[in-house]
A and B are shown apart, each in its own frame.
Chain A
């Protein structure tokens, strides 16, 4: 265990969030079994009131997840001085087996939280709580992930022992290295570029069509937005980061969050996360378009979410393309 102030705050924070989600899930379970809109019973009244509390809690949790994701990566970066060979977050996260899973769980929980809030938002637009059961089913599904995150993060911090020799970004993300991350870095640049711009283009076209015409390409857009999220992260590791660092061997996806690179990573990752949440949100709402009381509300929400995704992804593409064009650094030789 490393008693770093940020470690303590992340730890305390995630335990608090975990407790809050568990609390919500407990009432979620009651809602799933006992919800009856027609009944005017005390229980039903209590449950209806609890939904206010739970949506408040979930919005806080969503915001917390976002902050904790970035704080987690930043902390990993700061702690890298404690480990020989670790030069940035990439190395620190690799100190034990729980580092990367924690990060991935944080991303997943953020997107799941976003999905829940989208469902909740739609549900609140209808007079008859049409999505109440689905919403709380999703909450029951989210709870284990949040618990897992708290446990895995706890395990990560508890197993951090300073000075364990770890691979730093140099070796972990080097072309010769092994493992998934190395595979991404080793991915040939040209195909990766084509894949990235292709996926982005397709997503944006589908989104635009859906935004203007409604219907038709919506499901495809939603799926593509998730694929593009993955492709973009891969592209970031494969070639985008390289242009930011102006160093052909530096593929670290975390260092661009640092001040040395003007915190460029924050808008990039925020844009990606926003895009993913918007895209999954659109997809989540599709099965419910037929519900009578939501017939007017859902297409409107979907439109807004689509717009959000489009703007976010375009911002991401613009920033990265700008970096590629306006830097003196050329990758061609490598």
Chain B
């Protein structure tokens, strides 16, 4: 077996694809497994009536981006490196300016 270089290579690629398939299987399994936790998180959101994920807790307007002031909410300019890295790189969504500006 595997006497030729091309065979070795094909075997190597197949092995890689196999690992990748296992990982995708892992992803599938994990999604199934985490279903109850997902439900738990949803019920938590319902319970607290939350609107945002707890990703950035460093500043007020990054913990609840959708609930901040008009002056800051989501509206940080993507390149305004203010005080917090998470406050930048977020685009000011056009529709929030459009819809929630005073008509």
Interface residues of A (CB under 8 A from B): 161-163
Contacts and interface: CB of A to CB of B under 8 A. Distances in A.
A161 B92 CA distance: 12
Contacts of A163: 93-95
Interface in B53-96: 93-95
Contacts of A161: 94
A161 B94 CA distance: 8
A102 B95 CA distance: 26
7 contacts: A161-B94, A162-B93, A162-B94, A162-B95, A163-B93, A163-B94, A163-B95
A163 B93 CA distance: 10
Interface residues of B, number: 3
Contacts of B94: 161-163
A163 B95 CA distance: 7
B66 to A, nearest CB: 14
A84 to B, nearest CB: 9
Nearest to A84: B95
6 tightest A-B CB contacts, nearest first = A163-B95, A161-B94, A162-B95, A162-B94, A162-B93, A163-B94
Contacts of B93: 162-163
A98 B94 CA distance: 21
Nearest to A163: B95
A161 B91 CA distance: 13
Interface in B1-23: none
Nearest to A3: B91
A82 to B, nearest CB: 10
A161 B93 CA distance: 10
Nearest to A164: B95
A140 B93 CA distance: 43
A116 to B, nearest CB: 30
Contacts of A162: 93-95
A28 to B, nearest CB: 35
A307 B44 CA distance: 60
A161 B95 CA distance: 9
